Amino acid sequence: MLWGPSAARYVKASSVPLTMSIVPNNSTRADGEKVGQHYSTSMAVRKGETALLKQLNSFIQHQGSEIEALLKDEGIPLLSKV
Protein backbone atom coordinates (compact mmCIF):
# COMPACT_ATOMS: atom_id res chain seq x y z
CA MET A 1 0.00 0.00 0.00
CA LEU A 2 1.41 3.37 -1.04
CA TRP A 3 0.25 6.96 -0.72
CA GLY A 4 -1.17 7.99 -4.11
CA PRO A 5 0.66 11.31 -4.55
CA SER A 6 4.01 9.62 -3.88
CA ALA A 7 3.36 6.54 -6.00
CA ALA A 8 1.79 8.33 -8.99
CA ARG A 9 5.05 9.38 -10.65
CA TYR A 10 6.37 5.80 -10.55
CA VAL A 11 3.14 4.32 -11.87
CA LYS A 12 3.12 6.86 -14.71
CA ALA A 13 6.83 6.34 -15.57
CA SER A 14 6.81 2.54 -15.34
CA SER A 15 7.78 0.60 -18.47
CA VAL A 16 5.41 -2.13 -17.26
CA PRO A 17 1.74 -1.09 -17.26
CA LEU A 18 0.64 -0.37 -13.69
CA THR A 19 -2.63 0.87 -12.25
CA MET A 20 -3.53 2.41 -8.93
CA SER A 21 -6.66 1.62 -6.97
CA ILE A 22 -8.07 3.64 -4.12
CA VAL A 23 -8.38 1.60 -0.94
CA PRO A 24 -11.95 1.71 0.40
CA ASN A 25 -12.25 3.87 3.50
CA ASN A 26 -14.11 1.21 5.48
CA SER A 27 -11.35 -0.59 7.42
CA THR A 28 -11.93 -1.27 11.10
CA ARG A 29 -9.78 -2.53 13.95
CA ALA A 30 -10.67 -5.64 15.94
CA ASP A 31 -12.45 -3.41 18.47
CA GLY A 32 -14.61 -1.89 15.69
CA GLU A 33 -12.87 1.49 15.61
CA LYS A 34 -12.55 2.90 12.10
CA VAL A 35 -9.07 3.06 10.56
CA GLY A 36 -8.90 5.99 8.17
CA GLN A 37 -7.35 5.41 4.76
CA HIS A 38 -8.13 8.72 3.02
CA TYR A 39 -6.41 11.95 3.98
CA SER A 40 -6.58 15.50 2.70
CA THR A 41 -3.39 17.37 1.96
CA SER A 42 -3.00 20.84 3.39
CA MET A 43 -0.48 23.58 3.89
CA ALA A 44 0.01 26.22 6.53
CA VAL A 45 1.67 29.56 7.13
CA ARG A 46 3.27 30.89 10.28
CA LYS A 47 1.01 32.53 12.83
CA GLY A 48 0.64 36.21 11.96
CA GLU A 49 1.38 35.73 8.23
CA THR A 50 -2.14 36.83 7.30
CA ALA A 51 -1.10 38.56 4.05
CA LEU A 52 0.61 35.39 2.81
CA LEU A 53 -2.37 33.29 3.90
CA LYS A 54 -4.77 35.52 1.94
CA GLN A 55 -2.48 35.46 -1.09
CA LEU A 56 -2.22 31.65 -1.07
CA ASN A 57 -5.95 31.16 -0.52
CA SER A 58 -6.70 33.55 -3.40
CA PHE A 59 -4.25 31.76 -5.68
CA ILE A 60 -5.74 28.35 -4.88
CA GLN A 61 -9.28 29.63 -5.40
CA HIS A 62 -8.49 31.27 -8.75
CA GLN A 63 -6.17 28.56 -10.06
CA GLY A 64 -8.05 25.56 -8.69
CA SER A 65 -8.97 24.07 -12.06
CA GLU A 66 -5.37 24.40 -13.31
CA ILE A 67 -4.04 22.81 -10.11
CA GLU A 68 -6.52 19.93 -10.47
CA ALA A 69 -5.55 19.45 -14.14
CA LEU A 70 -1.87 19.31 -13.20
CA LEU A 71 -2.53 16.72 -10.48
CA LYS A 72 -4.57 14.59 -12.90
CA ASP A 73 -1.87 14.91 -15.57
CA GLU A 74 0.67 13.63 -13.05
CA GLY A 75 -1.59 10.63 -12.35
CA ILE A 76 -2.35 11.64 -8.78
CA PRO A 77 -5.68 10.12 -7.71
CA LEU A 78 -8.21 12.68 -6.53
CA LEU A 79 -11.09 12.03 -4.17
CA SER A 80 -14.45 13.77 -4.23
CA LYS A 81 -14.60 16.96 -2.21
CA VAL A 82 -16.44 16.39 1.04
Please indicate, yes or no, whether residues 28 and 5 belong to a single structural domain of this protein.
Answer: yes
81 located within any domain:
no
- Nearby residues of 41 by Cβ (< 8 Å), 6 or more positions away: 5
Regarding whether 31 and 7 lie in a shared domain, the answer is: yes
Asked if residue 34 and residue 2 are part of one domain, the reply reads: yes
pTM, to two decimals: 0.66
Are 34 and 46 in the same domain? no
Range of 47's domain?
A: 42-76
CA angle, residues 20, 2, 24, in degrees to nearest 5? 65
Which parts of the chain sit beneath pLDDT 50? none
pLDDT tens for 37-57 read 777 788 899 999 999 999 999
Number of domains into which the chain is organized: 2
Residue 52 lies in a domain: yes
